[in-house]
Structure 1
Amino acid sequence: MIHFISKRLKHSLVLLFLASVVCFTLVVSAPGNVAVLIAELRGAVATPGYVEQVAEEIGLNKPLLMRYVDWLGDAVRGDFGISYRTGQDVSADLANRMFVTGILIAGSAAIATLISLALGFLGAFWPYKLPDRVSRGLALLGASTPTFFVGALMIYAFSVTFQLLPSFGFAGPKSWILPWLTVAVLPAAVLSRVVRVGLEEAMASPFVLTAKSKGLGRTAILFREALPNITPLFINALGTQVGLMTATAIIVEPLFAWQGLGDYFLAGVRFRDFMVVQACLLIFLTFFIVVNLIVDLAVLLTDPRIRRQWS
């Protein structure tokens, strides 16, 4: 078990290093002259002399490898530089925005988990009957509908038509509900099929016959026997969906006027603020890698077969 954990930690560190290389390479490979852009954003005339001064000031004249080492060393210390557009510390902006995105992902993951378990158990309790068909249809609809369209429908239904919930802003739990639901629809649809198929396979296993011979009903078998068997599979699928929620945040945050990492990343891309783009990309990739590491450890704890393999 210790060997498994150390091996996964080593793999995660390698992936983090590769992620930093990818982030740095993508940004420095972008077309255009960053020094000219910064000079124009400062309101100055982009004369050759001033452009050279700006390039020297922000270290663009250094060799590429040295620039990467300097940037990575600063990033490890939590220093992501100064925004080209606003002149403010990127790390300070990230600290404020990470809380907003964290609330969005955590709430959406919780809702997606509850909905998927409910739909999955609904279908497994009445297999191939009307409840199962309804849950299948809802899962197919949720997985096929684009997230931005789901958000627009949520706003029209709950904010415009019924005026039950606010449609924009980060002003407390009531304003979090619509963004949570918007992000949760797609993961809930995917995870509900994971639960339904997993339970169906578990109910066809020999241990179910043993449980039935002991007089257990279908509900007790589903919760006491089948659910523990699909837990590692569900955790794996949930981890993937939580990682993908970072991409969904880029769409949902501007839609509901949330000033999170997704909105910050889009602003950086729009204004070619490369320091912001680098920082956001690195955080997104780091989050995805850390989530996968946590998922692997959780699966190790919940699956005795893997524990025996690495014991």
Structure 2
Amino acid sequence: MRTLISIRLRNAAVLLVLATMLCFTLVVSAPGNVAVLIAELRSPKATFEQIRAVEEELGLNDPLVVRYGNWLGSALKGDLGVSYKTGESIGPALAGRLHVTGILVAGGAIFAMILSFTLGFIGALMPGSIGDATTRIIALLGASMPSFFVGALLIYGLAVELRLLPTFGSAGLSSWIMPWMTIGLLPAAVLSRVVRVGLEEAMARPFALTASAKGLSRGRIIFRHALPNIAPTYINALGAQGGAMVVGAVVVEPLFALKGVADLFLQGVLFRDFMVVQACLLVFLTSFIILNLLVDIGMMFSDPKLRRQGANA
């Protein structure tokens, strides 16, 4: 097990290095002169000498390898550069927004898990019934509607017509309900089918048939015997949907006026602020890599086959 975990950690470290190279290349290959942009932020009528001074200050005349090493060392210390638009340091601005995106994605994941297990269990407990058909329809609709459309429907129904929830901001728990539902509905629909199909396959295996022959109820077999068998598949699918929710935050945050990392990323794209885009991409890629690492480790602990492989490695 330790050998497999060490291999996963090594692979994650390699991917992190490649991610930093990709983010660094983004700014290096961006059109225009970075020194001119920064010099004009400091002085609208920047002279040639001021531009040269900025180039020396930022090390833009150094070889690319040296520039990458300096940038990576600064990034590890939390210094992600200066925004072209505001002239402020990106690190503190990004740190102040991380918790917003984290709460959005974590809350959406919890909502997706609760709803997916609910729909999946209803279908598995009552196969072929009206309840099973209803869960299939809900899953189909949830997987077919884009997040911005779901968010618009929720805002119109729950906020405008019924006046039950606030339409924007992150002032309290009530303000997070619609964003969590918006970002978590599509993953919940996909995961519900994973639960439903996985439980159906598990109930057709010999151990489930034997338990049924001994007089155990269908519900007891599902919860005690079938559910652990779908854990590796569910964890893998949850990891994939978690990555999709991080991307979905780019749509959900502006829709509900949430000031998170995704909103900052969109502002950077809009104003061609490449340093901000670079920092946000670094956060997104790092979160993807860490999430996949946690999924791999979770699958090792939930899958006996992987545990045996780790013991023999």
CA distance in 1, matches of 2:202, 2:240: 22
Comparing 84-93 with 201-210, greater Cα deviation is found at 84-93
- State the AA in 1 paired with 2:21: V
Structure 2 equivalent of residue 138 of structure 1: 138
**What is the Cα deviation at residue 46 of structure 1?**
5.0
Structure 1 equivalent of residue 150 of structure 2: 150
Structure 1 equivalent of residue 230 of structure 2: 230
**What is the Cα deviation at residue 212 of structure 1?**
0.7
CA distance in 2, matches of 1:35, 1:271: 17
CA distance in 1, matches of 2:73, 2:283: 15
Structure 2 equivalent of residue 248 of structure 1: 248
Comparing 71-80 with 250-259, greater Cα deviation is found at 71-80
1:168 matched to 2:163? The reply is no
CA distance in 1, matches of 2:245, 2:129: 32
Give the secondary-structure state (helix, strand or coil) at the position aligned to 1:109: helix
**What is the Cα deviation at residue 158 of structure 1?**
0.8
- State the AA in 1 paired with 2:172: G
User: What's the TM-score once normalised by structure 2's chain length?
Assistant: 0.95
Give the secondary-structure state (helix, strand or coil) at the position aligned to 1:137: helix
Structure 1 equivalent of residue 26 of structure 2: 26
8 Å CA contact 2:41, 2:87 repeated in 1: no
Comparing 273-282 with 158-167, greater Cα deviation is found at 273-282
**What is the Cα deviation at residue 32 of structure 1?**
2.3
CA distance in 2, matches of 1:53, 1:102: 39
**What is the Cα deviation at residue 253 of structure 1?**
0.6
Structure 1 equivalent of residue 85 of structure 2: 85
CA distance in 2, matches of 1:134, 1:297: 35
**What is the Cα deviation at residue 37 of structure 1?**
2.7
**What is the Cα deviation at residue 48 of structure 1?**
4.2
Q: Deviations over 1:261-285 (max 9, x none)?
A: 0001111122222222111111111
Q: Deviations over 1:106-141 (max 9, x none)?
A: 110000000000111111112232212211111111
Q: Deviations over 1:181-222 (max 9, x none)?
A: 100011101101111111111111111111112211111111
8 Å CA contact 2:126, 2:132 repeated in 1: yes
CA distance in 2, matches of 1:244, 1:213: 42
Cα RMSD after superposing both structures? 1.4
- State the AA in 1 paired with 2:261: L
Pairing of 1:151-300 with structure 2 (within 5 A)? 151-300=151-300
CA distance in 2, matches of 1:6, 1:154: 45
- State the AA in 2 paired with 1:129: S
CA distance in 1, matches of 2:252, 2:101: 10
**What is the Cα deviation at residue 47 of structure 1?**
4.8
**What is the Cα deviation at residue 50 of structure 1?**
3.8
- State the AA in 2 paired with 1:200: E
Structure 1 equivalent of residue 71 of structure 2: 71
Unaligned runs of 5+ in 2: none
- State the AA in 2 paired with 1:165: L
- State the AA in 2 paired with 1:141: L
Give the secondary-structure state (helix, strand or coil) at the position aligned to 1:188: helix
Pairing of 1:85-104 with structure 2 (within 5 A)? 85-104=85-104
Q: Deviations over 1:231-274 (max 9, x none)?
A: 11101111111122111111111111111000011111222222
**What is the Cα deviation at residue 302 of structure 1?**
1.2
**What is the Cα deviation at residue 41 of structure 1?**
3.9
- State the AA in 2 paired with 1:135: T
Q: Where has structure 1 moved over 6 Å in runs of 4 or more?
A: none
**What is the Cα deviation at residue 90 of structure 1?**
1.4
**What is the Cα deviation at residue 51 of structure 1?**
3.3
Give the secondary-structure state (helix, strand or coil) at the position aligned to 1:257: coil
**What is the Cα deviation at residue 84 of structure 1?**
2.2
CA distance in 2, matches of 1:59, 1:67: 7
8 Å CA contact 2:183, 2:245 repeated in 1: yes
Q: Percent identity?
A: 60
**What is the Cα deviation at residue 91 of structure 1?**
1.4
Unaligned runs of 5+ in 1: none
CA distance in 1, matches of 2:2, 2:95: 33
CA distance in 2, matches of 1:91, 1:5: 31
Cα gap change, 1:43 to 1:258, in 2 (>3 Å): farther
CA distance in 2, matches of 1:87, 1:216: 68
**What is the Cα deviation at residue 96 of structure 1?**
1.0
CA distance in 1, matches of 2:191, 2:168: 28
- State the AA in 1 paired with 2:219: T
User: What's the TM-score once normalised by structure 1's chain length?
Assistant: 0.96
Q: Deviations over 1:52-86 (max 9, x none)?
A: 33333333222222111111111112221222222
8 Å CA contact 2:239, 2:295 repeated in 1: yes
Aligned residues: 311
8 Å CA contact 2:79, 2:91 repeated in 1: yes
